[in-house]
Amino acid sequence: MPQIPAWRSERPYRPHRLPFCLFGGPAPGLEGWLALLFLGLFQLGLSYVFYNRAIGHVTALEAILVPIIEPLLNPVWVYLRLGERPGRWAIIGGAVVITTITLRMVLAERKTGETGHRGRQTGSPA
């Protein structure tokens, strides 16, 4: 019997499985969907709520460093937890990105620091 691609199967009423069918992996079971829901609501959603509240109380430099450095440090967290060593190019690339962003933001902060502006602007432009 010839194999039919999953996206052309007799079950078109399951659109939630389409991404998994296109990329060749099996669709998650109930436990997997609950884990995805939990991560979407709490790991991402709640962290963005806190970040949105905090961003008005910090400088631009502090506000940009958190979302830039966090994903770049993921290989470090994996190394510390699982012992998987990041490759040489991953380390070099991360160092270049962190250094460039930090230098750019420090220079921008010095420039805006001279004018006395810190944090978010409020009100309408006059």
Q: Are residues 48 and 70 part of one domain? A: no
Q: Are residues 67 and 36 part of one domain? A: no
- What DSSP assignment string belongs to the chain? -----GGGSS-TT-GGGHHHHHTTPPPP-HHHHHHHHHIIIIIIIIHHHHHHHHGGGS-HHHHHHHHHHHHHTHHHHHHHHH-PPPPHHHHHHHHHHHHHHHHHHHHHHHHHHHHT--S---S---
In a domain, 49, yes or no: yes
pTM over 0.75: no
pLDDT of residue 56: 87
Q: Are residues 94 and 66 part of one domain? A: yes
Q: Which of these ranges, 17-21, 53-57, 85-89, 103-107, has the smallest mean pLDDT?
A: 17-21
In a domain, 126, yes or no: no
Structural domain that includes position 91: 58-116
Residue 103 has pLDDT above 60, yes or no: yes
Domain boundary among 29, 54, 79: 54
Domain boundary among 54, 72, 92: 54
Provide the domain count of the chain: 2
C-alpha angle 48-116-68 in degrees, rounded to nearest 5: 30
In a domain, 88, yes or no: yes
In a domain, 44, yes or no: yes
